[in-house]
Structure 1
Amino acid sequence: MAHEEDALEHERASWKPSPGLAVAVPDPVHNPGLPPHRERITDKDPAAMKRAVRTVYTLFYLSLAGSIWAIAAYMLFPIESGRIVDIRHNNLFIGLGIGLALLAIGIGAIHWSKAIMSDKEFIEPRHATRGRDTTREAAVQVFRDANEESGFGRRTAIRGSLIAALVASILPGITLFRGLAPHSSEANPIAGDPVALLSHTMWKKGERLAHDPSGRPIRAADLTLGSAVHVIPESLAELSHHDGYLEEKAKAIVLLMRLLPEQLPADQNKLEWSYNGIVAYSKVCTHVGCPVALYEQQTHHLLCPCHQSQFDVSRSAAVIFGPAARPLPQLPITVDDEGYLIAQSDFTEPVGPSFWERH
């Protein structure tokens, strides 16, 4: 094999084109070089440079003001009041504050790079050598050069305003975490306990099941086979938004479905909690609390659109796919003397996500 390779290499080295045979030799690509450098107005006029510097740190301080306003809006328009106008103003003004904070930082950084930082082109040769002392020293020198060219170390007004704007820009997001769970108080001692909050809803013995959002009670005879109805407690309509309508509805929402009675095996279902094939399950996904609202009547599967958890209604809403950790809580139901569907009791376990520490 070695002799064959040597012979092939010798043949290639000794080959010459035959007389009259044209051989195309490509011309090397011409390097056009860099275009002529044009000085910026800030490079030629010191007054223009000062104006650019003032513009940049003004934008950074404007970003700082936007962050402060977002925090102030969170306090001025508390969503805990339950009033629609406060919720709208909360979303609007916090969004405007955060948007202004981020936009001003972005515009200021771009203007800084275009008008103030060094505008000279240079070529950076690259090679495969890495990790030597000379390489590390060169890297340190690059940072020194970048600091010198950008003026970050010299221009204290820009540096200080940028640091303040960046620090302040994260404060609105941190402030918003406060609204994830209400704080307990003497008037509402369980407000800070998610387990207690999710363990009880407006459902109680004799509470009629009603259409969402009309509040019209539901007769068992009106439900067709394969139907899925969004349900709320009938008494929910008596609450106003100020009295916690949205909070109570978020916990008590239910999906009502009708199957053939024989499609509910007795060994996998609590038949005493259903009525003639009609079952009711919490709409709050046991993964992170998204609304489970997609029902496939042929397979009797419920789908959560957020993270694709699937529950089998014919088997006590058992989890058959996805990240949900437990079945959907079932609402025990029956009918009253007038044929309306009513609850036998509240849910017997907490509704909602499973990551809370449940008793």
Structure 2
Amino acid sequence: MGHFEGGSLQVNDNMTNQLERPVDDPGLEPHIPSWVSTNPHADKHAQGRVVVAFAVSSLCALASVVTYFAIPHGIQIEIGAFRSDLHNVVFGTTMGLAIFLIGVGAVTWGLNLMDDTDSVQQRHIPTSSDEARTEALVTVSEGIRASGVGRRKFMMASLGGALGLFALPLVVTLADMGPWPTARKRANTIERTIFAEATPQKPIRLVNDISWKPIKAADVEIGQLINAQPENLKNYEGVEYQQEKAKSSIIIVRMDPASINIPASRKDWQVSGILCYSKICTHVGCPITLWEQQTHHLLCPCHQSTFDLGNAGHVVFGPAARSLPQLKIGVDSQGYLIATQDFTVPVGPSFFERDSRNDYKEGDA
């Protein structure tokens, strides 16, 4: 045996011989068959538990679909401090049970019905030889055979049914994403703002979005930017208010008419150099207010898209693909800024289905 002397370990010859002798390979213990593999009755019983788990999972998935349509939103339940919508509780519970029972069936199958024979694979160099690849394929085939997939067709059918039916409520919940976005539906929802309520006979005044006071053209100075809203926004509440504000927010700027380019088709869209644009960036919909008075550029802080408001909102830099929508404005008999129509193009971020043919492009008249 070694001993310590002077603070260090001293090694004798006997200890050296023990270290040099390799450890014998203990090998694998003899395989002991499981109770299920040797008892046909136990095997059938385990299969039954798996099938029942998958079958009940399928029923839970179907129940969640029925719940989705049968239980209306708004019914509240209270259990102590817990309060929630009955529709959400039942739908979530049945969905949770469906996926939980799939797991129970899979674990029961793996623990009780799959072959538990141990196998040994020797270490080898990373590159596999043809023989090793062939052996791997044989191993996979043996694993499939040991799992009993081929001879337990009823269990496989129940598993397939459970997985397939579990996907059904997931597909059904896609209905919560809203109505199918057809061209007509888009034109009446996301591509329409409340400026559409304006007509030449019943115009809508533009108001300051802080004070809510109408904006008089004579009070707007050259170089000034005003954040504004349509006056009829006050007629909306709650979610509708937020949705309409997200689409109808505008900016009003005044520039020297001699220093900007006003296309001939938009000569009557402005009032003595006062122009109105959507406040929503055409890239991903961020609100924009970073105004450069000298260059007439409007910079989006999110991704640095830059629009030239002195050139009909044309994009001069950044990822935005469309010019900033401009709103036709005028003045009423009292000199207040008004709108008599909606934007001629959809406001907000770009998307594949959006019609961009009417967007302003550099050089348009």
Q: Same fold (TM over 0.5)?
A: yes
What amino acid is aligned across from residue 287 of structure 2 in structure 1?
A
* Structure with the higher fraction of residues in strand conformation: 2
Indicate which of 230, 243, 247 corresponds to 1:249.
Answer: 243
SS at 2:344's partner residue? coil
SS at 1:170's partner residue? helix
Shift of 1:260: 6.0
Work out whether residues 206 and 215 of structure 2, in 8 Å CA contact, stay in contact via their aligned partners in 1: no
1:301 pairs with 2:293: no
Sort the Cα spacing of 1:73 and 1:40 in 2 relative to 1 into closer, same or farther, 3 A.
Answer: same
Question: What is aligned with 2:54?
Answer: 60
Question: What is aligned with 1:329?
Answer: 325
Matches within 5 A, 1:307-346: 308=303, 310-312=305-307, 314=309, 316=313, 318=315, 320-322=317-319, 324-334=320-330, 336=332, 342-346=338-342
Matches within 5 A, 1:214-229: 217-220=212-215, 228=227
SS at 1:318's partner residue? strand
What amino acid is aligned across from residue 327 of structure 1 in structure 2?
S
Please give the TM-score of this superposition, normalised by the length of structure 1: 0.60
Question: What is aligned with 2:118?
Answer: 121
Work out whether residues 205 and 214 of structure 2, in 8 Å CA contact, stay in contact via their aligned partners in 1: no
Deviates more, 1:217-226 or 1:61-70: 217-226
Shift of 1:50: 5.4
**Whole-Å Cα distance in 1 between the matches of residues 159 and 189 of structure 2?**
43
Deviates more, 1:113-122 or 1:259-268: 259-268
1:356 pairs with 2:353: yes
What amino acid is aligned across from residue 144 of structure 2 in structure 1?
N
Shift of 1:163: 0.8
Where in structure 1 are there 5+ consecutive unaligned residues? Answer: 1-25, 185-189
How far does the alpha carbon of each residue in 1:278-311 deviate from its partner, in whole angstroms, 9 at most, with x for none? Answer: 633163x656xx542365456732256xxx5835
| Matched residue count | 308
Matches within 5 A, 1:128-143: 128-130=127-129, 132=130, 138-143=135-140
Question: What is aligned with 2:164?
Answer: 167
SS at 2:260's partner residue? coil
Sort the Cα spacing of 1:300 and 1:156 in 2 relative to 1 into closer, same or farther, 3 A.
Answer: same
Cα-Cα RMSD: 5.1
Please give the TM-score of this superposition, normalised by the length of structure 2: 0.59
**Whole-Å Cα distance in 1 between the matches of residues 208 and 104 of structure 2?**
50
Pick the structure with greater CA Rg.
2
Question: What is aligned with 1:19?
Answer: none
Indicate which of 144, 147, 169 corresponds to 2:141.
Answer: 144
What amino acid is aligned across from residue 300 of structure 1 in structure 2?
L
SS at 2:66's partner residue? helix
What amino acid is aligned across from residue 219 of structure 1 in structure 2?
P
SS at 2:327's partner residue? coil
Question: What is aligned with 2:194?
Answer: 202
Shift of 1:152: 1.8
Matches within 5 A, 1:263-274: 266-267=260-261, 273=269
